[in-house]
Structure 1
Amino acid sequence: MIYRQNQNLCPNRYTMPYEVRPGDTLNSIAARFGTNLVGLIELNPTLRLRTLTEGMSICVPRVPERPSCVNGAYYTIVEGDSFYSIALRYRIPLNLLLEANPEANPYDLKVGQEICIPNVPAGCPFGTVVQIQEGTRLSDILISYNVSLNELREANAEFNPNIIVPGTDLCIPPENYMECDPENAREYVIKPGDSLSTVAMSYNMSPSALLIANPNLRPANFLISGTRVCIPNA
């Protein structure tokens, strides 16, 4: 891909110049840079009156580059994200998030684009580090922090759910709900008034055993009507 170095062509810092190549069309260029024909024409109003020709320089959306992220962690944009919602989610001031991503266009975040979340705990991106106390059980951890067993394992590679060691630091990951797969188990649908403990008691199981049988569910899911729960076959 060839870019002409005449930066004055595209003074907007969220755009950059592009030199038209053989075979290019307005639609193909728009698709390549994540916009549409209308957006491309808005950046290049004179294209309404000119024919696209090889070697012509036009303005296109700047390709987002991965920012430097010292003492932070990278986050990948998903559908519906905005800087405001991300700042709220990770409880950081909006201005700090903007300062950490000076090249990102806050009005045009791209799905798949990487941004930097500043001041994230080392080894526990976007989560919270807690220390296991004496007498703590697996169910205590999962219930207290509303986290599933699979999420806890993924965030703590050395964690053994069968051996809870007091004094161990654990990374509690951010919320990420997933449904369980009812294969090889009876399916139970949570009703109003249900909870982890009442469902476990109904099937003569401990809360920990029920959470282990549903590693993608969090304790709070057992309070949400309509949640599918896997009850292991006897």
Structure 2
Amino acid sequence: MYDYNEMDSKCPTGSFSYTIKSGDTLYKLARMHNTTVEAITAINPGINPNNLQVGQRICIPKGTTPPTQTCPTGTFSYTIKSGDTLYKLAMTYNTTVEAIMAVNPGIDPNNLQIGQRICIPRGTMPPPTSTCPTGTFSYTIRSGDTFYLLAIRYNTTVEAIMAANPGVDPNNLQIGQRICIPGRVPPTPTCPTGTFSYTIRSGDTFYLLAIRYNTTVEAIMAVNPGVDPNNLQIGQRICIPGRVPPTPTCPTGTFSYTIRPGDTLYQLAIRYNTTVEAIMAVNPGIDPNNLQIGQRICIPGRVPPTPTCPTGTFSYTIRPGDTLYQLAIRYNTTVEAIMAVNPGIDPNNLRIGQRICIPERVPPTPTCDGFFYRVRPGDTFYSIAQMFNISVDRLLAANPHIDPNNLMVGQLICIPRTTMPPITCPGGTVYVVRPNDTLSSIAMRFNVSIMDLMAANPNINWCSLMPGQQICIPRHMPCSAETTSSSAETTPIQ
């Protein structure tokens, strides 16, 4: 089985290696690096443009360095960040969505890309760092914050916060946004003698903390006046009666272990060849039903050494979604062979970060007179054949070693070349239709008018576009309002 993530990427002269990141598309990369989708596809044979994988290495043709976008007079350049929308930017910079779109022709307001550069009309200059007036202090919005919760936390009112932050939408607070809170900056609490400072973590409650530190809810509340036990905030500092518990020293014959997500005493007992009772015996007071991530406990036995894989195998670290079956396919071996070099492994309970040994065989490079497609949830041979406008028989013939009744998510199958004759597109660009493309979405993507697109493809049935079908994208001509409005309804590809 061929895996792009594993390939040793050696790019030809005139190109460079690139690692796919979240949100990347070949169209976006072509625009970013001043090249074309066709040129990228040509030097990456077998690449599936509809199923790029984060971490996948591909080659990008070296175009000329794209010029830095120059924004017209009366605007300034802005780089799109996570969570940005044109509406939000319009509110932030005292302008309108229509004004932003007018100075960014061809921008898709529903598909802004992180890192994309756009121009913003100057309503007012970008707002300076907020300086809070006397009698207030600056606060940075965190996850879950609302004006109501902040008013309770800082002993003020929603109205007072709104008065100190004119123009702030209380229903659209953004993480990292700076606002002003009436009052003074609350000092870092100094815990009284006989208590210690504690920082609230995810899942903490006064009840759980009372059990963990051998105290009571009432005692914790007594040394934290004004703290709302029903609204603890991650990162909030409180005081706990007692002394800072020392790092546990595990007795002879045991080793220290730090609880990780998903751990249970039962699973730890199986992993380290002991029993739940033995673990509880060396951890008096431990609550097996309330293990905390980061909690230190003692495990009977010795620290297991890092496994050394025998000759003819290599070490592999389990990642999310891995199964022995998928690893066997990926590395051209069998589940039985993997289990044989990992005695005691539980194939139904693989742990993220767990190290196992994989029998070493060099996976042959598969051949495919077409391109590879990575199976997605819900795919069947029939649905894939329909998607690419080929028969199930042709798909089966191109994949003789694949069981059509047992497709695995992530599995690569070969899509044979279609028999559609190549098209000519003088002065334009040939585009290969992708799933869910429509006449209007293609026109918007390439910033051409619908009438020009239809005129360049007189024999295309736009109501039944098929993935893999080639169409001609004419050179850009300005769209008129009439031609744009004529595309109010277009049937998408199913």
Structure-2-length-normalised TM-score = 0.22
Higher RCO (C-alpha 8 Å, min separation 6): 1
Structure-1-length-normalised TM-score = 0.39
Structure whose alpha-carbon radius of gyration is higher: 2
